[in-house]
Structure 1
Amino acid sequence: MTTRSGRKTSGSLAVKELSKETWNDFEAVMGTNGGARGCWCMHWRLSTSEWMEGKGDGNKKTMKRLSQRDPAPGVVVYRDDEPVAWCSLGSRDQFPRLERSPLLSELDDKPVCSIACIYVQKEHRGDGLLSDILDAVCKHAASQGYKIAEGYPIEPGKGKRAGADTAMTGIASAFLDAGFSEVARPRGDRPIMRRELRAKK
């Protein structure tokens, strides 16, 4: 498979929902810091004060509780059975902080699968996996009945790199490579992007 930009993809990836069985793999991807600054991917699920209070072990415990519920809070992404990334996804109402965001406010009443966070394990950054991860995640979302995937990536200025805190939502060029289109741009560096999904027949 070749992306729109002509880059060859890195091959087939598999996704598994976060659960008791995949928790250790999730931990392996997130590392000892739990992603960026002890987040454990609770940024969009908690208020700022709740997030700060739980920073580190508290956020980790909250995510572990969510991992035992239905729907799962996201998926672990594997390459050759090795966990390489994490993606937090689900309906927008699963992310209260996203719902309250004046920057990333709801565009319309269409139900979407929000791709709220993408975290690639440190050892695999630079492998060109991000667009492949998005493609695999979209296929999973389609299998769960979603018709539209929505992302909130950052688009760094020319010659600039996104920091860990802003890159957590993904990079716009990777979304384009994965078949997303820009539908809004509430700020110069912050497009909102969507991809229509089709379930496998």
Structure 2
Amino acid sequence: MDVRAADVFADVAAVLGPKKETSSNCFCLSYRIGSTENQALRGPERFERVRGLCAEDPPPGVLAYDGAEPVGWAAIHPRADTTFATNRRIPHVEGHEDPWSLWCVRVRPGHRKQGISHQLVAGAVEFARVNGATVVEAYPVDNRGEKVDLTMAYVGTRALFERAGFEYVMDTTSVLNGFTRVLMRYTT
């Protein structure tokens, strides 16, 4: 398994994109851009916005590859460039002015239960470190071993991030699928 920068739009679209370009699914934009722009973008405009993000330096995240096939995605970017910068439910923690946020981990159907999420988290942390991050934050649910609805599992679990060396900082007031999201940090 190889994890590398998500700078190839076609590969990002293969993991995150809808089957039809007219669809207006998330495409991992909901925390990356402001809600006004996110709600206004429809169909092909969403594709073009993500294509533009893939061309930026740094791109919007990392992809996991099984050979040449993209099989997983992790969204990671400086918190200041995301909606987490102003999110009241997931507070800014004093002491680290420029953390990076890791907020979405997705593995394609047919490739799950193979440890790819763990590799994506490790690859995302390394990507952030190489791009100057000293701290990476994640905001997973603390599900205490209970099942998380697959549509909400993109944030990851506390256990996933603990296994990757992240440390619990605090509970947040954000709740997803009935579970409290926690703020966790990794010092690179």
TM more than 0.5 = yes
Deviation at 1:162, TM superposition (A): 3.2
Question: Which amino acid letter does the alignment assign opposite residue 14 of structure 1?
Answer: D
Distance 1:27 1:150, change over 3 A: same
Matched, 1:135 2:126: no
Deviation at 1:115, TM superposition (A): 0.7
What's 2:176 paired with? Answer: none
* 2:114 counterpart SS class: coil
* 1:154 counterpart SS class: coil
Distance 1:27 1:160, change over 3 A: same
Alignment of 1:9-158 (within 5 A): 13-19=1-7, 22-32=8-18, 38-95=25-82, 97-110=83-96, 111-156=98-143, 158=145
Distance 1:14 1:174, change over 3 A: same
Matched, 1:193 2:177: no
Deviation at 1:178, TM superposition (A): 1.0
* 1:149 counterpart SS class: strand
| Contiguous gaps of at least 5 residues in structure 2 | 174-178
TM-score by length of 2: 0.83
Aligned residue pairs, count: 180
Give CA-to-partner distance per residue, 1:10-42, whole Å, 9 cap, x none.
xxx3222222xx2221111124259x9611111
Q: Which residue of 130, 154, 161 maps to 2:148? A: 161
| Contiguous gaps of at least 5 residues in structure 1 | 1-12
**Identity percentage over the alignment?**
24
Question: Which amino acid letter does the alignment assign opposite residue 56 of structure 2?
Answer: R
142-151 or 72-81, which moves further after superposition?
Answer: 72-81
* 2:126 counterpart SS class: helix
Return the structure number with greater strand share. 2
* 1:28 counterpart SS class: helix
* 1:123 counterpart SS class: coil
Distance 1:138 1:158, change over 3 A: closer
Question: Which amino acid letter does the alignment assign opposite residue 5 of structure 2?
Answer: E
The 2-side partners of 1:18 and 1:49 are apart by 25
Deviation at 1:45, TM superposition (A): 2.4
Give CA-to-partner distance per residue, 1:56-98, whole Å, 9 cap, x none.
4322211111211222121222233431111111111110x21
Distance 1:31 1:66, change over 3 A: closer
